Structure 1
Amino acid sequence: MNKRYVPPYVIFEVANVHAGNVNYLGRMIDAFSRVEYENKGIKFQIFSPDGIALPDFEWYPVYKELCFDRSVWKNMINETAKYGDAWVDIFDGYGAIVLQENIDHIVGIKLQASVLENHEIRSVLEQVEFGDRRLIINVSGLALDEVHAVYDYFSGIAENVILQIGYQSYPTKISNTGLQKIPVLHAAFPGVPLCMADHADANENFALEVPIYAAVLGCSYIEKHFCLDRKMAKYDGFSSLEPDQMRSLCASLKNASLASHGLFVSDDEKEYLGKSIQIPIARHAMNSGDLISKSDIIFRRTKQSGLSFREIQDIQNQKHLLAMSPAANASFHRENFRPANIAVIAACRMKSSRLQQKALLPIVGVPSVDRCLSQCLAIPAVHRVVLATSDLEADAVLRNHTLNGAVDFWQGEPDDVISRYLGACEHFNIDVVVRVTADCPLILPEIITYLLEQHFLSGADYTAARNAAVGTAGEIINVRALKKVRDYFGAAEYSEYMTWYFQNNPGHFKINLVQLPPSLARDYRMTLDYQEDLKMFNRLYEKLNNEKSFYSADEVFAVLDGNPEISKINGHLTLKYKTDKDLIETLNRETRMEAV
């Protein structure tokens, strides 16, 4: 709920406009009472001529004219208390005596910048029981370090100190108003209330504007000179507002403060936005198992309720996908989504010709396929790891490499890898596949985690890294996309090279090629295909702590970056699918789907 709104406190500054006329002062109090404003006070300047100046000072005769007996001030302060708060401006010991005599009817004290060092006044104020009374100290003309010094002193004797800016000239130039001090003082004195006391020419619009500016900038107190008739004022009339102007100012302060307070987003704002906002609408019919990307939606106003795009992304970032099939022009709802079942599927066969039975070759005593699967088990977001091989007898030996049952085992098509994957996906009810090959002993969990995040964030069908070290990453593929390849091609003859079926068909699939952050990107060769690769891995693992079940990117790259001779062992080798022109031409031809 909103707290009760309180507009800025307005201090009606009487100053010397009364010219020593007691009746005029009484009429001013009456005029003050007739300005309807809930948060206001009237302030009197109280002094004696001999307490404020020496006879040689040019204004000394005027001070004699303006001085009232203490009994007059007592009556005026008591009268004021009937209509609002009484404040006193103290200049000397005489004013301090009036303060002490009327303390029960005074809510606030003001000290001009010119008296802050007056130890006569300081010693009296130190004896005052301030309680919850407020103390305004004007800091005009003081540097910031000096402001800190006086604040430290006065906050030691009064609990509620207010810092005031603004000084009186005849008139004060607009360029000397000092609004720029407000944010500086807010930063230097957090939580301390600020007051603006401007002295602009009251005949100019600026005199009614500057308090509004100050209030919007954060001043919770506004002091303004006040008179009955500026033309008739003998003293201090130039910056004094007449009663109608004060009413206008108070009304404007209410409006300005109402316009700049409240909740960051109001209920009315929410209602307006709710009625007018364009929400995501399905551009076309979608299917269960899909992720939503920018290309899948249009934004329209509609009588339908629905999720915002940010809400859709938030849901997908939690690794959710569509559970039902929204029709074209339908909005999206939370019940449209369900958690995705994410699995790593590691393809592995025993048929390698270049490095025979490489899946079982030991790397510092541990079969390479076991190294790969241990890395995959360390990926936080996946629900299972599947070792997928063929149903041929020669590959049955891999059943012994499920790390004591931590890894699931699947046998399927020997050569159609996509069919083999889909068999595993249907059996284990998988929605999103992390495709890796078991000839990569050091799949790095951080890279897979990053790719999964980017996959769900973008709403892709297929995600891969542009700049990963060979053998450290995998590909993220929606099972729906795998089914689309199978439905189009039937048997996917070249699905050992699964990448091509997706990256060659951007018109059919939402492709998301990701640039890894520098901490995860290198140019090393970390796949097992030749004897040199095996030698490199053995040297690498000898440098790693061989007691761990898996290794992080930081650990692996720290060794390789710090020992360049290790990566040089196999750095000269190339990948067939990147260098064999005939194979590349065949793949480009045979994996491409007709444009839609």
Structure 2
Amino acid sequence: MIIAILQARVSSSRLPEKVLKPILSRSMLQHQLDRIKNSKLIDILVVATSLDKSDDKIEQICLNESVICFRGSLNDVLDRFYHTAKKFNASTIVRLTGDCPLTDPEVIDKVIQYYVDNDFDYVSNTLNPTYPDGLDVEVFSFESLEKAWSSAKLPSQREHVTPFIKENFKVGEVKNKIDLSYLRWTVDELEDFDFVTKVYEKLYEINPNFGFQDILNLLNKYPELNLVNSKFERNEGYKKSLIEDNFYINEKVKNA
């Protein structure tokens, strides 16, 4: 059973309620769900959000969109993933994040297929990024998730779900033919949202299922769009978590 778990919450620190922000009359989360549903290899799609009252809005969107919603820990996202996967008897988990409204189902399926065809515990297109930031896909076994859940201690491992797996299991990667990792298609800042909105305004009415290549063609035609959010670095949230790891380790040493 291949289960895609889309993690989403309202209380984003950098851009609060970003998943609820409207793009052409539908929320960012609804657009992302529409796109994930076009995957041919996902058996079940589950949105994993928190028990915090602010995330009632996410559960309501899931209800409206006929998508399963599971609610768990707000900050221990690894725990949230584990209990979601366990509840639905997942053998294979596809990890997606709610800040990627330009996600491409063909890229998702490419990573899943590579995992299925090979003997890896974990496969992604993010180990040595070659895809635009915002097309991230991670696929891993339930066994590796369970081990991470029971063994991972660092804040970064609990918040970002897969660091322990990548450090302790057999991993594989999917690479794009051309390195496009400098492109930023994720939404963490207001400028990111402005960029994504402009993409939707130009492509959605022509084809609601526009893909990776359609966006590249658009950016070739309007290269100035790349400047809208180009000042931000990739994985700033993860870098912040690594700083928190140092505080955690220092406290452990101090109290030993």
How would you bin the TM-score normalised by the shorter chain? 0.7 to 0.9
Deviation at 1:492, TM superposition (A): 6.4
- Give the aligned partner of residue 464 of structure 1: 124
Residues 388 and 410 in structure 1, CA contact (< 8 A), matched pair in contact too: yes
CA distance in 1, matches of 2:197, 2:123: 31
Distance 1:581 1:353, change over 3 A: closer
Q: Does 1:531 align with 2:183?
A: no
CA distance in 1, matches of 2:63, 2:221: 31
Q: Which runs of 5+ in 1 are unaligned?
A: 1-340, 591-596
Q: Does 1:398 align with 2:61?
A: no
1:581-596 correspondence to structure 2 within 5 Å: 583=243, 586=246
Say which SS state the counterpart of residue 345 (structure 1) adopts.
strand
Q: What TM-score do you get using the length of structure 1 for normalisation? A: 0.39
- Give the aligned partner of residue 16 of structure 2: 356
- Give the aligned partner of residue 563 of structure 1: 222
Distance 1:547 1:561, change over 3 A: closer
- Give the aligned partner of residue 253 of structure 2: none
4+ runs deviating over 6 angstroms: 587-590
Deviation at 1:443, TM superposition (A): 1.1
Post-superposition Cα deviations, 1:311-362, rounded to whole Å, max 9, x if no partner, equal xxxxxxxxxxxxxxxxxxxxxxxxxxxxxx1121110111112212111011
Q: Which one-letter code corresponds to 1:502 in the other structure?
A: I
1:316-335 correspondence to structure 2 within 5 Å: none
Residues 374 and 549 in structure 1, CA contact (< 8 A), matched pair in contact too: no
- Give the aligned partner of residue 164 of structure 2: 501
Structure showing greater Rg: 1
Q: Which one-letter code corresponds to 2:150 in the other structure?
A: D
CA distance in 1, matches of 2:159, 2:31: 21
Deviation at 1:561, TM superposition (A): 2.8
User: Alignment identity in percent?
Assistant: 24
- The count of aligned residue pairs is 245
CA distance in 1, matches of 2:248, 2:172: 19
CA distance in 1, matches of 2:3, 2:180: 23
- Give the aligned partner of residue 92 of structure 2: 432
Q: Does 1:543 align with 2:206?
A: no
Deviation at 1:416, TM superposition (A): 1.3
Post-superposition Cα deviations, 1:15-53, rounded to whole Å, max 9, x if no partner, equal xxxxxxxxxxxxxxxxxxxxxxxxxxxxxxxxxxxxxxx
Distance 1:589 1:548, change over 3 A: farther
Residues 145 and 165 in structure 2, CA contact (< 8 A), matched pair in contact too: no
Say which SS state the counterpart of residue 401 (structure 1) adopts.
helix
Deviation at 1:554, TM superposition (A): 1.9
Greater relative contact order structure (CA < 8 Å, 6+ sep): 2
Say which SS state the counterpart of residue 433 (structure 1) adopts.
strand
Deviation at 1:586, TM superposition (A): 3.8
Residues 102 and 196 in structure 2, CA contact (< 8 A), matched pair in contact too: no
CA distance in 2, matches of 1:388, 1:369: 12
Q: Which has the higher helix share?
A: 2
Q: What TM-score do you get using the length of structure 2 for normalisation? A: 0.86
Deviation at 1:486, TM superposition (A): 1.5
- Give the aligned partner of residue 480 of structure 1: 143
1:259-298 correspondence to structure 2 within 5 Å: none
CA distance in 1, matches of 2:248, 2:105: 31
CA distance in 2, matches of 1:556, 1:377: 19
Q: Which runs of 5+ in 2 are unaligned?
A: 251-256
Residues 2 and 94 in structure 2, CA contact (< 8 A), matched pair in contact too: yes
Q: Does 1:513 align with 2:176?
A: no
